[in-house]
A = this chain, B = another copy of it.
């Protein structure tokens, strides 16, 4: 299994034999897989004139059980409030979402998909998931499950801190 990171580890063991670099074998590969996936995923999303962040916002709205506020959205996506405002403005102008005043709190508003926004994101999400399935083909389903399970274990320890 001679990948790029394994060659990096060999170089380190030659030039820094005092150092146990095995953590790089995990973290270096996580980062590297992430870097390979990004363009493959983004090229599909960009073909619908959406940035990755905008797609995430639309997908979050689609799978939620009702309208969300900008605050809920920027906390969920780890974005600043200012950046979220800019993104939402774009999505309103492009007809994806509608912004309406909150009935209970007059400082706030609710964000919701438009009719066509919902139809379009439904179609895109389907293509997106199939794209992801293709990208994972080099692992069989059992290996994919093992991988997901190990990542879930790590994440469950780090998300609530």
A residues within 8 Å of B by Cβ? 1-6, 8, 11-12, 14-16, 19-27, 29-37, 41, 62-65, 78, 122, 125-126, 129, 132-133, 135-136, 138-139, 143-144, 146-159
- Indicate if the CB atoms of B144 and A26 lie closer than 8 Å: yes
6 contacts between A and B (CB under 8 A): A2-B156, A5-B155, A11-B63, A21-B129, A26-B144, A32-B155
Nearest first, the 3 A-B pairs at minimum CB distance are A138-B157, A23-B132, A29-B151
Chain B residue at minimum C-beta to C-beta distance from A2: B156
Using known A-B contacts A30-B33, A129-B19, determine if residue A1 contacts B136 with beta carbons closer than 8 Å.
no
Chain B residue with the shortest CB-CB distance to A4: B159
Taken together as a complex, chains A and B put the C-alpha atoms of A32 and B41 apart, in Å, by 15
A33 to nearest B CB, angstroms?
A: 6
Known: A5-B152, A25-B148, A139-B150; 12 extra A-B contacts, CB below 8 A, are: A1-B153, A3-B156, A15-B63, A16-B63, A19-B125, A22-B148, A24-B129, A31-B37, A34-B34, A136-B154, A138-B153, A139-B153
Name the CB-closest residue of B to A158.
B36
Q: How many angstroms from the CA of A146 to the CA of B152 in the assembled complex?
A: 14
In the complex formed, the residue of B with least CB distance to A1 is: B152
Q: Is the CB of A152 within 8 A of B34?
A: no
